[in-house]
Amino acid sequence: MTDTQKLLELAKRNNGIITTAMVVEAGISRGTLKYLSDTGGLERASRGVYTLPEVWEDEFVNIQSRFKRGIYSLETALFLCELTDRTPSKFHMVFPATYNLSGPKQEGIVCSGSKEPLYNLGVVDLKTPGGNAVRGYCAERSLCDVLRPRNHTDVQIVTDAFKKYASRKEKNIPLLSEYAHKLRVEEKLRAYLEVLL
């Protein structure tokens, strides 16, 4: 199998998306990637992200591949966790406290910095509408985040998200309570849970 065939096969196995990092990790030359891009075998979606011509471009993957340290949060994470039907008008991401936020802000991303251990608290792989995996906060962490006053989340979105979460079979109330304690939103969480459970 040639490098070109290997690269295309790798893209097919990854829902039609391939990144430069994946190509390097697979031991395939970057020149093969450039060749496929130049000849129309792949389309450049964004810096370091390529798709097969027949594949729908996944903006969630494009953004995260450009800003690898970013974790989807707030309304974006609620959407990816299927706790809201509203497609986010802007993407929300959290970065390490020392990360320079000027790049993501120029791209129109609503971003904030967070220190450890809160930065990595509740990080999971979430599926985008295109079926690709991206890093975001789990449902429990996202619900606690939207209760924090500094995040200014629309009350209707918060209420709907809690209603959807309460109706789920796989809800994890002890984990939700643990995150509420760590993020200091216990009283607000209690108010929502008393109404819904």
- Examine the domain organization and report whether 183 and 96 are in the same domain: yes
Rounded to two decimals, the pTM is 0.81
Residue-wise pLDDT for 73-93, tens only, equals 999 999 999 999 998 889 999
- Examine the domain organization and report whether 99 and 123 are in the same domain: yes
- Examine the domain organization and report whether 31 and 114 are in the same domain: no
- Examine the domain organization and report whether 24 and 97 are in the same domain: no
- Examine the domain organization and report whether 73 and 113 are in the same domain: yes
Structure confidence at residue 132 (pLDDT): 85
Domain end, chosen from 33, 57, 81, is at: 57
Residue 196 has pLDDT above 80, yes or no: no
Residue-wise pLDDT for 18-58, tens only, equals 888 888 999 998 899 889 989 998 988 888 888 888 877 78
Residue 65 has pLDDT above 90, yes or no: no
Structure confidence at residue 186 (pLDDT): 94
Domain with 153, as residue range(s), is: 65-196
- Examine the domain organization and report whether 90 and 178 are in the same domain: yes
- Examine the domain organization and report whether 81 and 110 are in the same domain: yes
- Examine the domain organization and report whether 108 and 141 are in the same domain: yes
Number of domains in the chain: 2
Structure confidence at residue 197 (pLDDT): 64
* CATH code, domain with 32: 1.10.10.10
Residues 82, 182: Cα–Cα separation, whole Å: 24
